[in-house]
Amino acid sequence: MRLAQRLDAEIVSADSRQFYRGMDIGTAKPTVAQRALVPHHLVDIADPDDTVSLAVFQRLALDAISRIHARGHLPLLVGGTGQYIRAVARGWKPPPVRPDPRLRGALERLILDRGTLWLHGRLESMDPQAAQAIDYRNARRMIRALEVILTSGHRFSSQRLEADSSYHLVTIGLMLRRPELYERIDARIEHMFASGLIQETQGLLSHGYSPGLPALSAIGYDECLKVISGVMQQDDAKAAIRRRTRLFVRRQANWFKESDPSIKWFDVGDGNAMSAIEAFINEETAL
């Protein structure tokens, strides 16, 4: 937010859960007041029972970036979800495999009969790289990966074609020591519960959204659903969210490596990185 204000920039969200209306607290979505200060794109663009595929996101993000450029502003693609950022930054082309309703139905029945962990194990045996990138709770993405593998006979992870970007990309990574990062995570979880995360989840159910929706498998919402149904106590839910968030941190570290020469890393632990980041972006965008 501060950087966008100083650089006359607009924010394009690459957080795959901030797409959904009504999922505000659990996704740490920017507030209405924040969005009034800095334009945000791809926030609140779908209902929780809609599907925002990687291809749809890519198209919407590129359109937003084009419109921001046309206004003479700087687009900041912020996130978030590694594959969504890569799809835009590296010009991914989704595998050319059409959806197969019969195959999808069979895979969905396997999930009902044997569970998501079993299906994730099948994906891991066929394509370990895809399995590493796809959380076992994300049934929709697992089914799509297996659909592509079984239809084409090739690994899902090997079928993402890339094209040269038409933009000059400046990639900023923010580093924080793990103990401090985990402290922030714990504080955020407490803040979310104090702000009404369980009530927000209950509100989604009251609006008729099924607890089985892929959007509601997100970290925080899945655990709150278990609290609401009486399967889990609130303290246990907080502990489960902490575990899943730490796992997410490790997965992000696989997507965005400190050894990646295309990323300029800044340590934000002391709170004094803003000027250095701003100077770096100004230098790079002047080239």
Same-domain pairing of 249 and 262: no
Distance CA 157, CA 26 (A): 30
Q: Which of 85-99, 184-198, 258-272 has the highest mean pLDDT?
A: 184-198
Same-domain pairing of 213 and 146: no
Domain that holds residue 150: 101-158
What CATH number corresponds to the domain at position 135? 1.10.20.140
Q: What are the residues whose beta carbons fall under 8 Å from the beta carbon of 146, sequence distance 6 or more? A: 107, 119, 122, 123, 126, 156
Bigger pLDDT: 53 or 23?
23
Structure tokens at 95: 């595998």
pTM of the predicted protein model = 0.78
Average pLDDT over residues 38-62: 92
Same-domain pairing of 22 and 151: no
Q: pLDDT tens for residues 136-156?
A: 878 888 998 999 899 888 888
Q: pLDDT tens for residues 154-190?
A: 888 876 655 666 788 899 999 999 999 999 999 999 9
Average pLDDT over residues 52-56: 84
Bigger pLDDT: 144 or 237?
237
What CATH number corresponds to the domain at position 251? 1.10.287.890
Q: How far is CA 7 from CA 47, 79, 239, in A?
A: 32, 18, 39
Structure tokens at 247: 């796992």
| Number of separate domains in the chain | 3
Distance CA 234, CA 155 (A): 40
Same-domain pairing of 70 and 171: yes
Q: What is the chain's mean pLDDT, rounded?
A: 90
Distance CA 60, CA 215 (A): 19
Same-domain pairing of 105 and 220: no
Same-domain pairing of 120 and 217: no
Same-domain pairing of 22 and 136: no
Same-domain pairing of 6 and 34: yes
